[in-house]
Amino acid sequence: MPSVSKKGRAMPESPIRKLVPFAEQAKKDGKKIYHLNIGQPDIKTPKAALDAVKNNSLHILAYSHSAGFESFRKKLASYYAKHDITISQDDILITTGASEALVFTMGSITDPEDEIIVPEPFYANYYSFSTQSNIKVVPVISSIENDFALPAIAEFEKLITKKTKAILICNPGNPTGYLYSKSEIKALAKLAIRYDLFLISDEVYREFVYDGLEHYSVLEEKDLNEHAIIIDSVSKRYSMCGARIGCMVTKNKSVIETAMKFAQARLSPPTYAQIASEAALEAPDSYHEKTVAKYKQRRDLVIEKLSQHPDIKISVPKGAFYCIAQLPINDADHFCQWLLSDFSMNNETVMLAPASGFYSSPGQGTDQVRIAYVLNQKALKKATKILIKGLNTYRTKFESKTKSEN
Amino acid sequence: MPSVSKKGRAMPESPIRKLVPFAEQAKKDGKKIYHLNIGQPDIKTPKAALDAVKNNSLHILAYSHSAGFESFRKKLASYYAKHDITISQDDILITTGASEALVFTMGSITDPEDEIIVPEPFYANYYSFSTQSNIKVVPVISSIENDFALPAIAEFEKLITKKTKAILICNPGNPTGYLYSKSEIKALAKLAIRYDLFLISDEVYREFVYDGLEHYSVLEEKDLNEHAIIIDSVSKRYSMCGARIGCMVTKNKSVIETAMKFAQARLSPPTYAQIASEAALEAPDSYHEKTVAKYKQRRDLVIEKLSQHPDIKISVPKGAFYCIAQLPINDADHFCQWLLSDFSMNNETVMLAPASGFYSSPGQGTDQVRIAYVLNQKALKKATKILIKGLNTYRTKFESKTKSEN
């Protein structure tokens, strides 16, 4: 029997999805689950986007341009201009989700065994796409002690080798919710220029910023035109995760031309989804204002509720819709599974993402979970209550045992 | 300035699309172009598919299952059963086009420097996806002399090394239109088993078969359950190239589980396109009967018209909607460009795909073009007339010069 590849074996299972069988069993057993484990927003997609697809008049669902609709790219250039990012439609390549933008970026700038440095914890699929591209993720550890702020530049410098091709950040961050400051971006820009590295910035949560702070993009740094690559997506911005439309943006002509060859190979991004995504740009400003206000309330609620527990340490997110909570337990993977398989409160439970899946360094984050606050206030209140009850029950059941084992 | 990767530089430009600037200029100059260069059908998408999207009632365009809608996979299993392919929904992974199915397949079964053997000429993007996956395409040359039939098994055997992981065929073939016979598939199956190789079969043109012949799938070979992988797509079958929905099908559990990890990394295939593709399965049998009858007429017309020229050699395709024509010239790349930039007949010209892009062996196919007969009868009549006139004009202008140079 022919066998699968080493690469295939090395591909990580989704840390979020590996609990799915336990969740399915819990549902079969009649339990209600509050999903704090996945970044699927409950916000409605803009009406303009939904209507554009409903009202389309296509008779033949044909290929589009490999770089995506030109009309869409022109409108996107205007969108970026509003965010102080000055680019033209030719600097944009429409991709099938941010996922494809990452794969094209890695393919365009790295060869097997090359390295990219990524602040850890990081979006788990960065590791998957790196494995798929035969390159190595080199983590630089950020800490919950300072809300996962940018590690010291010296820490990056220690990790730079001849194989280092890029630094990859997520801003605001998934899973941390950390928003890099202008001075942090400027420090990274200087570093990228000094060592001639690409600076890849995943900015899919650009609009999700709280407390009057402002997002600062790598493409606002004028000296970084040849180094900066933005990864973007409509998934969270317009609650259109199922569209599978993203883009990569760079003013580096060689990179965009190279990425275009990857894009031509796969022919074109999905047509219906482009129609929806182009129309979503017509959503009024109030769409994001309302959405962000809602997420801010949710964030505040989660922080307030979990902070009441003396042994939960929580990093206050300034952006995106995730936060990392450090729990007074040893094995968050087991705790998350146990919540599904062995615990309930009035026949309800919560599903969380164990944070270990967001670290590539062994043994990191084993006492942390990622909480996606994508539920309404009422559900969040319930869910945090269940989480705290579950935590306390779990500790009495397992921690004494664990302690005696130590 | 940081530079692009070796891989990025090695990625081929689309052989079809590199003539696009010349076509754009010709259009600007007011010329009408008959497009015989690209497999974009002019057939209408099934109404059921278009209507399903128009009538969708989604309020949130959410992620789907990473393997695709379960309901869609179940219906697909029934579709395959009608084609004597016995599989379950768990043997299917819905992908973003056949392109992604190929990338996932290559990722699941090959590591850098591994080799796959592919009968040449082949679909140009096989080379792109192999380059993207850091693996090597090893061509085994088929010949226009016998309509691009399967090369002798001994020719494959000569090429098998320790690095060989798979044989990849396209059946019926793009660009050749060749339909492999049952005995050819059986010979390949024996070979795959003897050398423990995967046999990947791109069967996206399954329905497009003429002259009362029948398609025989690699998954009809019972002994091949662990070796066979089907690559499939709705693009041509339902004239839905812009959907970007395909799938990979295999009964090899390790392969499908491995591919699933690649699928989880990119989250899900596009939702709207899945809605359309699932509904397309409801298209009546008459949809394909009419479509195939139309393509048969077109094929017959192209063969008839081009066969009238004593120096054009044409392989009669038994499937798909392409054929390779061997022209009495030395440089088909230049001829195709010249047709756009320097030639017209009543201000009209044709666009062809030079066949050199479908060969990886240098110097092969330089006198061949691929013709996609995706236009109506009237347009095809005009286009073949222009092609013959262009060919004769080109020969008087260039071939005498070439001959004197020789």
Residues 77-96 on B with a CB inside 8 Å of A are 96
Domain termination residue (choose one: B230, B256, B280)? B280
> Is 0.90 exceeded by the ipTM?
yes
Q: Is A42's Cβ below 8 Å from some Cβ in B?
A: yes
Average pLDDT over residues B172-178: 97
A100, A246 in Cβ contact below 8 A?
yes
* pLDDT given at position B248: 98
Model confidence pLDDT, tens digit, residues A254-299: 999 999 999 999 999 999 999 999 999 999 999 999 999 999 999 9
> In angstroms, rounded to a whole number, what is the distance separating the alpha carbons of residues B154 and A153?
59
Q: Are residues B132 and B252 in the same domain?
A: yes
Q: Does A63 touch chain B (CB under 8 A)?
A: yes
Structural domains of chain B, count: 2
Please report which confidence band the pLDDT of residue A405 belongs to, taking 50, 70 and 90 as the band edges: very low
Domain-embedded: residue A111: yes
- Asked if residue A405 belongs to a domain, the reply is no
| pLDDT at site B49 | 98
Residue B142, Ramachandran bin (φ over 0: left; ψ between -120 and 50: alpha; else beta): beta
Q: Is A13 exposed, middle or buried (0-12, 13-18, 19+ CB in 10 A)?
A: middle
On whether the CB atoms of residues A110 and A166 are closer than 8 A, the answer is yes
Contact check, Cβ <8 Å, B128/A227:
no
In a domain, A404, yes or no: no
Same domain? For B126 and B203 the reply is yes
Residue A118, φ and ψ in degrees, nearest 5? -135, 125
Please determine, for residue A77, whether its predicted confidence score (pLDDT) is greater than 50: yes
Q: Which of residues 185-224 of B touch A (CB under 8 A)?
A: 196-198
Q: What is the pLDDT of residue A401?
A: 53
**Inter-chain CB pairs, A–B, below 8 Å:** 267
Asked if B199 and B219 sit in the same domain, the reply is: yes
| Rounded CA separation A198/A290 (Å) | 35
Looking up residue A291, the CATH number of its domain turns out to be 3.90.1150.10
Tally helices (H) and strands (E) across chain A: 14, 13
Residues A85, A118, single domain; the answer is: yes
| Residue whose token pair is 């320097």 | B342
**A118 confidence band (pLDDT: 50, 70, 90):** very high
Q: What would the pLDDT profile of A161-214 be if each residue is shown by its tens digit?
A: 999 999 999 999 999 999 999 999 999 999 999 999 999 999 999 999 999 999
Measured between beta carbons, the chain B residues lying within 8 angstroms of A271 are: 242-244, 273
pLDDT at A15: 74
Beta carbons within 10 angstroms of residue A113's beta carbon: 10
A23-65 pLDDT tens trace: 999 999 999 999 999 888 899 999 999 999 999 999 999 999 9
pLDDT of res. B406: 39
Residues 6+ apart with CB under 8 A from B403: none
CB count in 10 Å sphere of residue B306: 19
Inter-chain touch B226–A63, beta carbons under 8 Å: no
Nearest to B243 among A112, A165, A270 (CB): A270
* Interface contact flag, A242 B62, Cβ < 8 Å: yes
* Contact (CB<8Å) A99/B59: no
Q: Whole-number mean pLDDT of chain B?
A: 95
pLDDT digit string (tens) for B20-73? Answer: 889 999 999 999 999 999 888 899 999 999 999 999 999 999 999 999 999 999
Going by pLDDT thresholds of 50, 70 and 90, the confidence category of residue B17 is confident
pLDDT at A216 over 80: yes
Q: How confident is the model at residue B384 (pLDDT cuts 50, 70, 90)?
A: very high
Banded model confidence at residue B403, pLDDT cuts 50, 70, 90: very low
Assess if residue A370 is contained within a domain. Answer: yes
Between chains, do A11 and B265 touch, taking CB under 8 Å as contact? yes
What is the rounded average pLDDT of the residues B364-371?
97
- A379/A293 same-domain check: yes
B61 touches chain A (CB under 8 A): yes
Provide the pLDDT for residue A256.
98
Share of chain B above pLDDT 90, in %: 94
Residue ending a domain, among A232, A252, A280, is A280
Three-state secondary structure readout of B226-287: CCEEEEEECCCCCCCCCCCCEEEECCCHHHHHHHHHHHHHCCCCCHHHHHHHHHHCCCCHHH
Cβ of B7 within 8 Å of Cβ of A132? The answer is: no
B344-354 CB burial, b ≥16 within 10 A, e <16: bbeebbbbbbb
B295 shares a domain with B268: no
Same-domain check for residues B275 and B323: no
Same domain? A74 vs A209: yes
Tell whether A143 and A248 lie within a shared domain.
yes
**B182/B51 same-domain check:** yes
B58/B81 Cα distance (integer angstroms): 31
Three-point CA angle A314, A316, A318, nearest 5°: 155
Can you read off the two tokens belonging to residue A382? 């319930």
On whether residue B391 sits in a domain, the answer given is yes
Q: Are residues A82 and A194 in the same domain?
A: yes
Whether residue A1 lies inside any domain: the answer is no
At B129-157, the pLDDT tens digits run 999 999 999 999 999 999 999 999 999 99
| Among B250, B280, B310, residue at a domain's last position | B280
CATH assignment at residue A151: 3.40.640.10
* Other Cβ atoms closer than 10 A to A253: 12
pLDDT grade for A20, boundaries at 50, 70 and 90: confident
CA B326 to CA B314: how far, in whole Å? 6
Same domain, A180 and A303: no
Chain A hits for B242, CB-CB cut-off 8 Å, are: 61-64, 268, 270-272
Predicted confidence (pLDDT) at residue B272 exceeds the cutoff of 70: yes
A404: pLDDT strictly greater than 60: no
CB contact under 8 A, A125 and B265: yes
User: By C-alpha distance, which of B155, B13, B370 is closest to A260?
Assistant: B13
From the list A99, A128, A268, the residue facing B242 with the nearest CB is A268
With respect to residue A34, please indicate whether it lies within any of the assigned structural domains.
Answer: yes
- Specify whether the CB–CB gap between A8 and B109 falls below 8 A: yes
The mean pLDDT of chain A is: 95
Residue A87 included in any domain: yes
What is the reported pLDDT for B354?
95
Domain range for B207: 47-280
Interface test with B, best of A267, A268, A277 (most B CBs within 10 A): A267
Round to whole Å and give the CA distance between B214 and B231: 18
B5 contacts chain A (CB < 8 A): yes
Confidence of residue B16 (pLDDT cuts 50, 70, 90): confident
